[in-house]
Every structure is written in structure tokens, then in C-alpha cells.
Chains A and B, each alone.
Chain A
Amino acid sequence: MEVKAVTEGDILIVTPVGRVDTSTAKSFEEEVMKALAQASKVAISFSEINYISSAGLRVILMAGKKVASTQGKMALINMPEKIFAVFKMSGFDKILKIVPTLEDAKALFG
């Protein structure tokens, strides 16, 4: 799947495009992990994601674990309400940093 990546200062902003389900999760995982290897501060933007299933949630959880293990920082930004509902239901709002905007992520990263 298409995953855009741009750098702003020392933050890498990763923007996956389209839907993340079982059929696209593998390439989503590869792209996200590739991005995580490039920067210690990563913001994943959900502005262009219109659908995510548990297959996508798994990738985000793996990414969160990887970042934590390397003392990096990761924030999830621009999340539509319907997608946030699934993250909250899964308890991910307690273990991952979900903030409204890139500015909030920058403030979080310090």
C-alpha cells in the first residue's frame, strides 16, 4: 500500500493512504517499520486512512513496541472519530500516544 513519508525538522511524518486490512497489512507493516528505522521521532498520520481492521491495529501495536524498545517517540495524529473509536475500544488509547495534530505531537516530543 502507499505510505507517504516526509521529514519536518527531526520528526518523520508517515501517512499511509487508503485502507488497512489483512490484504494490505503486510506492506503497511514493511513501510512503517522502514520509516521507524529512519527516525527516532515518528508521527503516523491517519488523515488519509479510511478504514483499519485488527490487522492494521496489530501493525500499530508492533510499531509502538519497537519505538519503545529503542527509546524513540511515536504519536498517532489526525485520527478520524470512527477510527479512534476502534483504537479506544482496543485499549490502545492508554498505551499509545494519540493526539489531534502534528503540533500536539511536536509538543509531546519536546
Chain B
Amino acid sequence: MLIKVKNNIDEIATICDEVKKFCAENNISEQKAYDIAVIIDELATNIISYAYDDAQEHTFSITLEKDSKQVRIHLVDDGVEFNPLQNGTPDLESSLDDRKIGGLGIFLVQQLSEKVNYAREEDQNKLDVLVNVSEQQEQDQAPESEQKDQGAEPKPEQNKDNKKDEKGE
């Protein structure tokens, strides 16, 4: 699926509707569809908010592809060079008083995905995100008693190692 998006924040809801449609057509579970929507929302919001330093209308693209195990999300914009993966991660251990507001968007993208790559090529920012959807599909097919045990608990520590390798490329 190819989605062409204008640099207008009101486009976010439309993008999420398209993503929902893609996930339904590809039998992706509700939880994974939610994760994919958040990933695309956060990255598209970043592009809309920061990629263009003029007041002109611009268009960028979001491509979604699914194979048997993964969904690949590809975002391409021709805005100013910006690698969102260079931002620091929020301090999850700080108290309510000390917790900084912001910095959560890219963190969520990294936690919800298998891999995130950034590249600057031909004056374009290219973000490539892989989301594993096979595990959830297996859970969906599992007997009810097993599903309860597995639940929809987030597993933030799962992919940290391979993500570190992707950062800063």
C-alpha cells in the first residue's frame, strides 16, 4: 500500500484509517494493527512537524508491505536532513516530578518495532521499519487458555540488542 501524505497534521487521522484498512486486509491482529498505527503516526508527525522549514505544501510517501512474518514500513520525505534515531531515550525510571515531557514518540517506535533504519540518500530522508507480526498471529491461533497466559503484555527488552546495531547508521 502506498500512501501519499501532505505536510498537514490533520492528515494523521486519514493515515491511521488507511493503516487500519491495510491491517484488516492482511489479517493482522488488532494489537499489532494498533502498534503499526502508532509507529506510522509518530514518524509521520515528526516529518510533518520538523522536515520542512518553509510554509509550502509538500508531499511525502509511506509504503506498507507485508510478507509472511513482517510488515515493512518505508517513509520517504524530501525535507531537511534529520535522523530521529539520534535523539536520546527518555528516562523511564525517573519520578513523576523529574520525568521530562516529550521524547516518547521515537522511543515508542523503537520499542514497537523489530528494526528501524535511517538513511539520507538523494536529498531524501528514508526510514525503514520492520514490525514482526508472526508471533501475534500464532497467539491468535492458539487455544484460548494459552492466549490468556501470553496476553498482550509489551516486551520492551525483547529487541534492544539488534536495535542498537541499527542506530547511527
Contacts and interface: CB of A to CB of B under 8 A. Distances in A.
8 contacts: A21-B41, A23-B9, A23-B12, A61-B99, A65-B101, A68-B97, A82-B34, A88-B154
A85 B41 contact: no
Given A86-B108, A88-B154, A95-B99, A51 B16 contact: yes
Interface in B45-78: 45, 48-49
Interface in A10-28: 19, 21-23
Interface in A78-99: 81-82, 85-86, 88-91, 94-96
Interface string B150-165: 0111101000000000
A95 B93 CA distance: 9
Interface string A32-68: 0000000000000000000101110110011011001
B38 interface: yes
Interface string B1-41: 00000000110110010000000000000110010011001
Contact of A21 (B16, B99, B108, B154): B16
B154 A85 contact: yes
B95 A95 contact: yes
Given A54-B42, A58-B101, A90-B107, A22 B30 contact: no
Contacts of B41: 21-22, 53
A15 B30 CA distance: 23
Contacts, number: 84
Contacts of A88: 153-154
Contact of B108 (A19, A22, A68, A90): A90
Nearest to A55: B45
Interface majority SS (helix, strand, loop, mixed), chain A: helix
B9 A90 contact: no
Contact of B96 (A54, A81, A95): A95
B80 interface: no
A68 B30 CA distance: 35
B102 A21 contact: no
Contacts of B107: 54, 90
Contact of B45 (A21, A62, A94): A21
Contacts of B90: 90-91
B101 A61 contact: yes
B142 interface: no
A103 to B, nearest CB: 23
Nearest to B104: A54
A25 to B, nearest CB: 10
Given A23-B9, A57-B104, A95-B99, A89 B156 contact: yes
